Amino acid sequence: MMAGPHLGFIVAAYAVAALTIGAMIAWVVLDSRRLNTELARATRALDRAKGGAKGEVR
């Protein structure tokens, strides 16, 4: 690409788009990781509660 008089505007446009797309990807990926961790913790809590309930029956 030829460095024209408006190069700064072009670079800024691509930088903003890259940052926004990066933020969208990060939002989805980090949310997925956090939720998977949270689900594993909640499942463990449920298993513990069920284990306690079985103990109660016995």
Partner 1 sequence: MVNLANPTAFVEVARRLLPWLAAATAALFVAGLWLSFAAPPDYQQGETVKIMYLHVPAAWMATFVYAVMTAAALGTLVWRHPLADAAQKAAAPLGAGFTFICLVTGSLWGKPMWGTYWVWDARLTSVLALFIIYLGIMALWRAIDDPGRAAKAAAILTLAGAVDLPIIKFSVDWWNTLHQPASVFRLGGPTIAPSLLLPLIVMALAFTGLFLTLHLMAIQNEILRRRIARVTMLAAHEGDRLAPGLAAGGA
Residues that bind partner 1 (CB under 8 A): 1-2, 4-7, 9-10, 12-14, 16-17, 20-21, 23-25, 27-29, 31-32, 35-36, 38-39, 42-43, 45-46, 48-50, 52-53, 56
The token pair at 26 is: 């990060």
What are the angstrom distances between the C-alpha of 23 and each of 1, 2, 20, 40? 27, 29, 5, 26
CB 8 → partner 1: shortest distance, Å? 9
The token pair at 15 is: 């930088």
CB 47 → partner 1: shortest distance, Å? 9
Q: Which residue do the tokens 């689900």 mark?
A: 39
